């Protein structure tokens, strides 16, 4: 009887509607990219019950109120409402689509905008929360990067080579968005690292403990692993200016916020235990390098809690459709804030309608934050260090140690990238692109190249054919052997070069190199001085040579980084100068004319870049440039007669260069150098200032000066370049749509030649024919040229117009010059 009664009671209860606590959970993602949307609002319709998603886009809403639908809203996206079925527990996921959101102007009829007082207090507290105020801190970081090809147009997919790839795409449905657009992943990396920072001096270091890199065209992950860690994904909104893609964007809480932003106080809410203001951020001018989006500021401390900011499409950027930065900040014990999670998305549009776009995603998670106990400065000698076994772990390790599990989409990305890089046509194109970019083609333990030297044509050599080889990391990480040979069909001379480099220490970069070379050079256009100006150098190797000579030299070079940023170089060089033009000089103490000479130089140099960052690529070390501090260099060389040289002389050169952020005015770069040659020597040993008679612009030359026009034995030069970004041309309505950007140049040169060196230059050769010599500068009158121009023409081209302001007496001088160049800039 009791059993029957209990059964009846349970049956009746099952027909009574349940009014227990409602629990709804799920995830909010971007419908186009699959990325989570943090900080979105989730609301039970018809109630005041709501919650915000966490940084991973997840939400968990618990309520005693009932509702029949759930609404998700977020600024910049279309809102979505979904029905809630019967029962108490539900899982409802949402995919939001970006809206055509346009910024509106807010008008406050009386009193000050209430958001201004909040921002003003947040700016006043900036120094208290800036992590740079800490003496030191260190963190454990997990970083993942994904790069996809998207906007795969119909014309692009119809290409013969691409059809073989799209057939593979169709087999993995997870790699399409809701509109059915294909996404082609080409790169995915994960990195576990330790990041170290110390102040006074400000130094940084990242130790990559484990890294996993897979990508189309990636054969060696060592170089890539140095730039995929957290050190290169740092965005500190407590700086006035934030560097992204080599552009400087103003922070919403910068000192000069009133000149760049407007704000709207949207709401007051709670995140965890913190009550926060929710503010919408708007650039005053849409073309400025500024952000739009939402920031959350703590009500009590006025510290940033979260940011979700986007660089508008209207900003003067090339190819970029969107840059989005989402960040969550965590306070340390001393009070400064460190980003605990950061997500960055960069969307690059199609260059032409028949090409595809790119989507790059960066994610960094930080934990195990420790403050204080700064490491010694010697610890920071190398900015990025790879542990010996950094790439040895398999999938089991990553499944156990990655802090955030990979989503279904990310697992599909890994599968696709592994599949793509095995397709022959993909391998062919990726290897071809690397060959064009680096100049070398890997063949086992050797690299063939450089390809610009395979074929040249000029008036001295006629058709010139050459080829070279060098060893790579597969051969040795301690030795580098390289050689090159070329032959001119007209002059019938063999040219060659060879070198052996011993890498003594890869941590404090230390190398010893011996080399020899027999090559055609040009006075004032020596190949050694044009390293790093590959286009200009290549252009100067074609056509007509100016003052060519055969240079046969033997060199010993030693390099050692003594401590962070401070490099010592030294060596010795023996050179034989054999002119191929009508050249003579008066020998010292004699009246006879000579045309060839030998020099032997010992040299020593010091270079200091306080915050310059280097990475190691194969067996070379590459500079990524400094962040803000100048680079100083001083070089001294001494010529010796007793080491089979013909002259005793000394050469001293000092230089300084720097990049300057000028805020809304743009970016400036300057290089200043001064030098002096002590002793009486033939003029090819003096400073032969670099002119430019080519059509191509180069910052290394004086662009209205002829080749070999001026020579000095003491000089001072100053070069100044300014990039206005969109500051000037953005204000012209029609030009603004073209996204052209103004540039300016000023190049100044003081110089002179001593009477002793002038007296060595004859005006006639032994047969009585006049000699081509050089011009000298008046010490009281500098050479000055001023330039202006426009870059970003059709997104690639730049045109500069130069006016020569002094030394206009020579009728052969061209006082005005137009130079062109091509560049890929954002």
* Integer Cα distance of 612 and 231 in angstroms: 13
In a domain, 750, yes or no: yes
> In which element (H, E) is residue 274 found?
strand 274-283
In a domain, 642, yes or no: yes
pLDDT at 355: 66
Higher pLDDT, 664 or 395: 395
Higher pLDDT, 341 or 218: 341
Alpha carbon of 11 to those of 2, 4, 8, 588: distances in Å?
14, 11, 5, 120
* Integer Cα distance of 521 and 480 in angstroms: 25
* Integer Cα distance of 159 and 164 in angstroms: 9
pLDDT (tens digit per residue) in 309-324 = 998 777 767 777 888 8
* Integer Cα distance of 375 and 380 in angstroms: 8
Q: Which token pair is 123? A: 């700016």
811: confidence class by pLDDT, cuts 50, 70, 90: confident
Q: Which token pair is 376? A: 């010694």
pLDDT at 100: 60
pLDDT at 490: 95
Among 67-71, 100-104, 470-474, 504-508, the range scoring the smallest mean pLDDT is 100-104
In a domain, 743, yes or no: yes
* Integer Cα distance of 148 and 634 in angstroms: 45
Among 255-264, 396-405, 413-422, 809-818, the range scoring the smallest mean pLDDT is 413-422
Higher pLDDT, 726 or 193: 193
76: confidence class by pLDDT, cuts 50, 70, 90: confident
pLDDT at 712: 95
Q: What is the CATH number of the domain that holds 55?
A: 2.60.40.1120
Range of the domain at 665: 493-822
pLDDT at 599: 95
Which of 47, 73, 96 is the endpoint of a domain?
Answer: 96
What would the mean pLDDT of 469-479 be, rounded to a whole number? 93
Residues 6 or more apart from 277 whose CB is under 8 A from it?
Answer: 115, 118, 265, 267, 268, 296, 297, 299
pLDDT at 353 over 90: no
pLDDT at 3: 43
* φ, ψ at 118 (rounded to 5°): -65, -45
pLDDT at 500 over 60: yes
181: confidence class by pLDDT, cuts 50, 70, 90: low
pLDDT at 414: 79
pLDDT at 360: 86
pLDDT (tens digit per residue) in 374-384 = 999 888 888 88
* Integer Cα distance of 254 and 242 in angstroms: 10
In a domain, 33, yes or no: yes
Q: What is the CATH number of the domain that holds 787?
A: 2.40.160.50
Instruction: Please give the tally of structural domains in the chain.
Output: 2
pLDDT at 110: 53
pLDDT at 105: 44
Question: Would you give the DSSP letter of residue 258?
Answer: G
In a domain, 601, yes or no: yes
pLDDT at 178: 40
Q: Is 218 helix (H, G, I), strand (E, B) or coil?
A: coil
What would the mean pLDDT of 565-591 be, rounded to a whole number? 88
Residues 6 or more apart from 618 whose CB is under 8 A from it?
Answer: 220, 223, 472, 473
pLDDT at 167: 61
Given CA atoms 605, 608, 614, 616 in this order, what sign does their dihedral have?
positive
* Integer Cα distance of 158 and 149 in angstroms: 16
104: confidence class by pLDDT, cuts 50, 70, 90: very low
What would the mean pLDDT of 161-178 be, rounded to a whole number? 55
4: confidence class by pLDDT, cuts 50, 70, 90: very low
pLDDT (tens digit per residue) in 599-608 = 999 999 999 9
Among 685-689, 715-719, 722-726, the range scoring the smallest mean pLDDT is 722-726
Strands 89-91, 22-30: pairing is: parallel
Question: Would you give the DSSP letter of residue 156?
Answer: H
pLDDT at 651 over 90: yes
Q: Is 70 helix (H, G, I), strand (E, B) or coil?
A: strand
pLDDT at 222: 73
11: confidence class by pLDDT, cuts 50, 70, 90: very low
Which among 663, 826, 650 has a CA at the least distance from the CA of 739?
A: 826
Strands 687-688, 711-712: pairing is: antiparallel
Q: What's the whole-number average pLDDT of the chain?
A: 84
653: confidence class by pLDDT, cuts 50, 70, 90: very high
pLDDT at 354: 64
Q: Annotate 500-526 with b (16+ C-beta within 10 A) or e (fewer).
A: ebebeebeebbbebebebbbbbbbbbb
Judged on CB neighbours under 10 Å (0-12, 13-18, 19+), 413 is buried
Q: Which token pair is 129? A: 């929360």
Q: What is the pTM of this model?
A: 0.79
pLDDT (tens digit per residue) in 661-675 = 887 788 899 999 999
**CA 343, chain centre distance (Å):** 18
12: confidence class by pLDDT, cuts 50, 70, 90: very low
pLDDT at 10: 37
pLDDT at 268 over 60: yes
Which of 44, 79, 96 is the endpoint of a domain?
Answer: 96
pLDDT at 176: 53
Residue corresponding to tokens 């790169």: 187
Q: Which token pair is 545? A: 């040579």
89: confidence class by pLDDT, cuts 50, 70, 90: confident
pLDDT (tens digit per residue) in 211-260 = 988 887 676 667 777 777 776 778 899 999 888 877 888 999 999 898 88
pLDDT at 106 over 60: no
In a domain, 172, yes or no: no
Question: Which of 52-61, 187-196, 589-598 reaches the highest mean pLDDT?
Answer: 187-196
Residue corresponding to tokens 């050179």: 575
Which of 71, 96, 121 is the endpoint of a domain?
Answer: 96
In a domain, 292, yes or no: no
pLDDT at 159: 63
* Integer Cα distance of 696 and 693 in angstroms: 8
Question: Which of 16-30, 49-63, 515-529, 560-574 reaches the highest mean pLDDT?
Answer: 560-574
In a domain, 441, yes or no: no
* Integer Cα distance of 457 and 542 in angstroms: 5
Residues 75/44, Cβ–Cβ less than 8 Å? no
pLDDT at 108: 47
pLDDT at 177: 46
Residues 291/311, Cβ–Cβ less than 8 Å? yes
Residues in the chain: 826
Residues 6 or more apart from 791 whose CB is under 8 A from it?
Answer: 723, 740, 741, 743, 797, 798, 823, 825
pLDDT at 627 over 50: yes
């Amino acid at each position: 009887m009791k059993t029957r009664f209990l059964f009846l009671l349970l049956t009746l209860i099952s027909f009574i509607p349940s009014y227990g606590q409602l629990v709804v959970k799920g995830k909010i993602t971007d419908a186009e990219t699959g990325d989570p949307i943090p900080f979105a609002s989730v609301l039970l319709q018809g109630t005041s019950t709501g919650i915000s998603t966490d940084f991973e886009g997840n939400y968990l809403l618990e309520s005693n109120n009932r509702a029949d639908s759930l609404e998700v809203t977020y600024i910049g996206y279309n809102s979505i409402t979904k029905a809630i079925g019967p029962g108490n527990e539900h899982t409802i996921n949402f995919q939001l689509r970006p809206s055509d959101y346009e910024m509106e102007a807010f008008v406050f009829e009386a009193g000050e905008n209430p958001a201004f007082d909040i921002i003003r207090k947040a700016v006043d507290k900036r120094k208290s929360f800036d992590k740079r105020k800490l003496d030191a801190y260190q963190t454990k970081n997990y970083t993942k990067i994904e790069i996809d090809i998207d906007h795969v147009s119909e014309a692009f997919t119809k290409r013969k080579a691409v059809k073989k790839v799209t057939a593979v795409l169709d087999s993995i449905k997870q790699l399409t968005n809701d509109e059915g657009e294909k996404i082609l992943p080409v790169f995915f990396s994960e990195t576990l690292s330790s990041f170290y920072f110390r102040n006074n001096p400000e130094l940084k270091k990242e130790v990559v403990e484990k890294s996993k890199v897979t990508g189309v065209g990636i054969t060696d992950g060592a170089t890539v692993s140095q730039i995929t860690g957290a050190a290169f994904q740092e965005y500190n909104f407590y700086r006035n200016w934030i560097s992204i893609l080599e552009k400087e964007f103003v922070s919403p809480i910068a000192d000069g916020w009133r000149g760049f932003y407007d704000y709207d106080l949207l709401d007051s809410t709670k995140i965890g235990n913190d009550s926060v203001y929710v503010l919408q951020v708007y650039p005053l001018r849409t073309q400025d390098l500024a952000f739009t989006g939402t920031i959350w500021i703590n009500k009590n401390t006025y510290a940033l809690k979260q940011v979700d900011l986007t660089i508008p499409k209207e900003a003067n950027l090339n190819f970029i459709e969107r840059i989005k930065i989402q960040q969550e900040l965590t306070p340390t014990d001393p009070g400064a804030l460190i980003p605990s999670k950061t997500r960055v998305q960069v969307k690059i549009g199609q260059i032409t309608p028949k090409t595809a776009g790119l989507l790059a995603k960066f994610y960094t998670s930080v934990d195990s934050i420790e403050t204080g106990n700064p490491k010694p400065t010697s610890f920071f000698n190398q900015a990025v260090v790879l542990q010996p076994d950094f790439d040895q772990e398999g999938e089991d390790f990553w499944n156990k140690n990655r802090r955030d599990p990979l989503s279904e989409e990310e697992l599909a990305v890994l599968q696709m990238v592994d599949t793509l890089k095995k397709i022959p046509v993909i391998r062919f194109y990726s290897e071809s692109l690397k060959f064009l970019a680096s100049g070398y083609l890997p063949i086992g333990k050797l690299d063939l190249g450089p390809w610009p030297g395979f074929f040249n044509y000029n008036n001295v050599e006629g058709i010139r054919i050459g080829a070279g080889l060098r060893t790579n990391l597969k051969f040795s990480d301690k030795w580098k052997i390289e050689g090159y040979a070329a032959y001119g069909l007209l002059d019938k001379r063999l040219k060659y070069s060879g070198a052996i480099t011993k890498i003594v220490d890869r941590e404090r970069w230390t190398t010893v190199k011996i080399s020899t070379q027999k090559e055609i050079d040009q006075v004032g256009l020596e190949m050694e001085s044009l390293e790093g100006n590959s286009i200009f150098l290549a252009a100067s190797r074609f056509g007509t040579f100016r003052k060519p000579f055969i240079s046969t030299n033997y060199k010993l070079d030693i390099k050692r980084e003594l401590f962070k940023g401070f490099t010592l170089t030294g060596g010795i060089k023996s050179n034989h100068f054999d002119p191929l033009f009508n050249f003579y000089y008066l020998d010292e103490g004699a009246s006879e004319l000579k045309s060839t000479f030998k020099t032997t130089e010992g040299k020593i140099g010091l270079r200091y870049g306080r915050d310059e960052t280097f990475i190691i690529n194969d067996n070379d070390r590459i500079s990524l440039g400094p962040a803000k501090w100048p680079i100083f260099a001083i070089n001294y060389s001494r010529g010796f007669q007793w080491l089979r040289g013909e002259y005793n002389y000394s050469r001293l050169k000092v230089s300084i260069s720097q990049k300057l952020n000028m805020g809304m005015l743009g970016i400036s770069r300057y290089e200043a150098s001064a030098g002096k040659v002590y002793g009486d020597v033939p003029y090819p040993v003096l400073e032969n200032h670099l002119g430019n008679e080519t059509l191509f612009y180069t910052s290394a030359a004086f662009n209205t000066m002829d080749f070999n026009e001026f020579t000095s034995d003491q000089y001072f030069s100053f070069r100044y370049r300014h990039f206005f970004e969109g500051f000037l041309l953005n204000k012209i309505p029609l030009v603004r749509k073209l996204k052209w950007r103004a540039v300016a140049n000023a190049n100044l040169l003081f110089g002179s030649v001593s009477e002793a060196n002038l007296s060595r230059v004859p005006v006639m050769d032994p047969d009585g024919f006049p000699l081509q010599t050089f011009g000298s500068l008046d010490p009281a009158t500098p050479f000055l040229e001023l330039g202006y121009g426009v870059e970003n023409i059709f997104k690639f081209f730049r045109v500069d117009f130069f006016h020569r302001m002094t030394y206009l007496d020579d009728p052969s001088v061209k006082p005005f010059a137009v130079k062109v160049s091509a560049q890929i800039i954002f």
